[in-house]
């Protein structure tokens, strides 16, 4: 029997854990980098705005924290326009094994300094946190065994209670997001330029009554059992992460952000099918992929949390 936070960390990140043994996230759930090149293209547009605001330094970073299988980092390295590619350094930060990815350097540690854009794409939801529940009117930590059976643990401590009072005052059960706030602040502190977290999450006033801790295995949502057999994840209290840093910030939905960065689901003119069927087919497929990224009930409902630490202020970076 362990505290949920320890059990979660152990299941994903200890020796032989779900991610450390090399499970590719793409084998278990669909994320936006797998849809097609559109997310990488949009992030290159964002990187260009950041780079411009920094005065086009001799080396510009794209650092992908929690890079998983490296699909996003690989696409950014491959699709970068040549003028940028000459100065671009793409780094994948990942606790799991490094991959052979052209144009991408792999590391387990956050770099000391990032000059450019740091991205955490579905990283924070995989950062373990305390799980608490209300019993007789008081918040308690929850314990769990390897089969996933939960037991009431000790009273939540002062740090968890402070966080809950500020960020999750109601509800019957919650994930205490202070570990995500700290992980995010630690990453952003290293950045000259901008830092972006993209994740599913919730905001004050609309927290889920029973939290969102769950498991994913082979494309299916499963019970959260901390035995290393599945990913364990919970939505991110993104407004709490935003407040962890006193910086210019934009907190907007993915659909709005992607539109501002040039992603469009507009179908090609039907006349194109007669004059250039191959171009019509390619444009129709691209519009379909964009629709998936912009869908407010799906990936378009993800949150984009963007901070600027130097150069162009964050809200301007995602202005259309
Ligand atoms: C949900 S997956 C997302 C993968 C990828 N970014 C995507 O969107 O497809 C989360 C990834 O973050 C990694 N991760 C979690 N904490 C990390 C840390 N402190 N440093 C580096 N990688 C971490 C996990 O190993 C896992 O591969």
pLDDT at 134: 98
Q: Over the stretch 193-239, which tens digit does the pLDDT of each residue have? A: 999 999 999 999 999 999 999 999 988 999 999 999 999 999 999 99
Provide the 3-class DSSP secondary structure of residue 229. Answer: coil
Question: Residue 5 and residue 157: Cα distance in Å, rounded?
Answer: 14
Q: Is residue 273 part of a domain?
A: no
pLDDT at 86: 97
- What's the mean pLDDT in 115-119? 98
- What's the mean pLDDT in 120-124? 97
pLDDT at 98: 86
Looking from the CA of residue 231, the nearest atom of ligand 1 is: 1
Q: Is residue 171 part of a domain?
A: yes
Q: State the total domains in the chain.
A: 1
pLDDT at 29: 75
Q: Is residue 284 part of a domain?
A: no
Q: Is residue 282 part of a domain?
A: no
- Say yes or no to pLDDT of 270 above 90: no
- Say yes or no to pLDDT of 150 above 90: yes
Question: Residue 22 and residue 26: Cα distance in Å, rounded?
Answer: 11
Band of pLDDT at residue 24, cut at 50, 70 and 90: confident
Contact criterion met (CB below 8 Å) for 74 and 103: yes
Instruction: Label the pairing between strands 236-237 and 201-202.
Output: parallel
Question: Residue 147 and residue 156: Cα distance in Å, rounded?
Answer: 23
Q: Is residue 294 part of a domain?
A: no
Question: Residue 241 and residue 181: Cα distance in Å, rounded?
Answer: 4
What percent of the chain lies above the pLDDT cut of 70? 100
Band of pLDDT at residue 76, cut at 50, 70 and 90: very high
Q: Is residue 115 part of a domain?
A: yes
With a Cβ cut-off of 6 Å, ligand 1 is lined by 19, 25, 31, 33, 65-68, 93-96, 121-123, 126-127
- What's the mean pLDDT in 29-56? 94
Range(s) of the domain holding residue 207: 2-264+299-317
CATH number at residue 257: 3.40.50.12710
Nearest CA, atom 23, ligand 1: 66
Q: Is residue 281 part of a domain?
A: no
Nearest CA, atom 11, ligand 1: 66
First CA to last CA distance, the chain: 51
**How many helices and strands in the chain, by DSSP H and E?**
11, 17
**Lowest pLDDT segment from 15-29, 30-44, 71-85, 155-169:** 15-29
- Say yes or no to pLDDT of 30 above 90: no
Looking from the CA of residue 64, the nearest atom of ligand 1 is: 6
Q: Is residue 192 part of a domain?
A: yes
């Amino acid at each position: 029997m362990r505290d949920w936070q320890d059990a979660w960390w152990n299941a994903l990140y200890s020796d032989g854990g779900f991610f450390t043994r090399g499970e590719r996230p793409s084998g278990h759930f669909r994320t936006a980098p797998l849809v097609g090149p559109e997310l990488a293209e949009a992030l290159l547009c964002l990187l260009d705005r950041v780079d411009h605001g920094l005065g086009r330094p001799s080396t510009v970073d794209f650092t992908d924290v929690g890079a998983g299988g490296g699909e996003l980092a690989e696409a950014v390295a491959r699709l970068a326009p040549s003028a940028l590619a000459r100065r671009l350094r793409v780094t994948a930060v990942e606790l799991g094994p490094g991959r052979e990815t052209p144009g991408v350097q792999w590391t387990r540690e956050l770099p000391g300094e990032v000059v450019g854009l740091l991205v955490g794409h579905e990283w924070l939801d995989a950062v373990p946190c305390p799980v608490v529940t209300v019993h007789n009117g008081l918040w308690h930590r929850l314990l769990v065994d390897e089969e996933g059976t939960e037991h009431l643990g000790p009273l939540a401590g002062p740090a968890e209670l402070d966080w809950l009072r500020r960020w999750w005052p109601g509800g019957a059960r919650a994930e205490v997001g202070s570990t995500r706030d700290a992980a995010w602040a630690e990453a952003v502190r290293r950045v000259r330029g901008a830092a972006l977290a993209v994740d599913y999450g919730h905001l004050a006033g609309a927290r889920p009554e029973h939290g969102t801790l769950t498991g994913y295995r082979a494309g299916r949502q499963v019970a959260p059992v901390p035995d290393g057999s599945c990913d364990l994840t919970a939505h991110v209290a993104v407004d709490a992460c935003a407040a962890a840093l006193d910086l210019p910030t934009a907190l907007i939905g993915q659909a709005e952000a992607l539109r501002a960065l040039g992603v469009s689901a507009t179908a090609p003119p039907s006349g194109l099918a007669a004059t250039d069927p191959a171009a019509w087919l390619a444009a129709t497929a691209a519009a379909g992929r964009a629709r998936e990224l912009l869908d407010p009930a799906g990936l378009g409902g993800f949150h984009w949390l963007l901070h600027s630490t130097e150069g162009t202020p964050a809200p301007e970076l995602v202005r259309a």
